[in-house]
């Protein structure tokens, strides 16, 4: 099982309330359609065309995020949802992935912007950052990536240690 950090800003909008209410996590890119129907090469061209001001690195990061979220993430994976310090009162959320990737066409709009989702079980939905281990804390500061795969199971170890799992 894998572990992830997810920034809850699909289409540049904070979506923690929607995530909690709908028991989902989601990513943006509403213009790409159902990601199951696109290869990494097609996603690359689509993002380059849709976002011409993006650097090559940002496009590559976008493709990686989409493919990891839709293909690599799986039921049983743990996901730490990390809003900016100024949002969500500085708290983070911990979820366990329950379902497969879903594409919701009605959310593939500029207004909604979070059509790519997975169902989750909320392990903890308000965790003060100072309740996280010293091993996890430095990972929260990584900027620029919507989704990051963690190495070494730090979320599972800490969650077992403090009784969340």
Cβ burial, residue 47 (10 Å; 0-12/13-18/19+): buried
Do residues 97 and 76 touch, judged by C-beta distance below 8 A? yes
C-alpha span between 27 and 12 (Å, rounded): 10
pLDDT band of 144, cuts 50, 70, 90: low
Q: Which two tokens stand for residue 112?
A: 């909604």
Report domain extents, the chain: 3-162
Give the phi and the psi of residue 111 in degrees, each rounded to 5: -70, -50
> What does the alpha-carbon distance between residue 86 and residue 124 come to, in Å, rounded to a whole number?
19
Overall average pLDDT of the 18-33 stretch? 94
For the chain, the farthest-separated pair of C-alpha atoms sits apart, in whole angstroms, at 47
Statement: the pTM of the whole predicted model exceeds 0.85: yes
DSSP 67: H
pLDDT, position 138: 86
Residue 142 has pLDDT above 90, yes or no: no
User: What is the architecture, at CATH level 2, of domain 3-162?
Assistant: Roll (3.10)
């Amino acid at each position: 099982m894998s572990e992830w950090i997810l920034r809850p800003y699909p289409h540049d909008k904070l979506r923690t309330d929607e995530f909690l209410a709908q028991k989902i996590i989601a990513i943006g890119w509403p213009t790409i359609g159902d990601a199951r129907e696109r290869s990494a090469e097609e996603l690359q061209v689509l993002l380059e065309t849709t976002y011409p001001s993006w650097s090559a690195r940002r496009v590559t990061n976008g493709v990686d995020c989409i493919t990891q979220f839709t293909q690599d993430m799986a039921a049983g994976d743990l996901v730490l949802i990390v809003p900016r310090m100024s949002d969500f009162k500085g708290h983070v959320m911990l979820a366990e992935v329950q379902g497969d990737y879903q594409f919701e066409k009605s959310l593939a709009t500029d207004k909604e912007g979070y059509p790519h989702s997975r169902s989750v079980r909320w392990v903890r939905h308000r965790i003060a950052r100072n309740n996280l281990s010293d091993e996890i804390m430095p990972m929260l500061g990584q900027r620029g990536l919507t989704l990051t795969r963690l190495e070494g199971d730090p979320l599972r170890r800490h969650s077992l240690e403090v009784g969340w799992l």
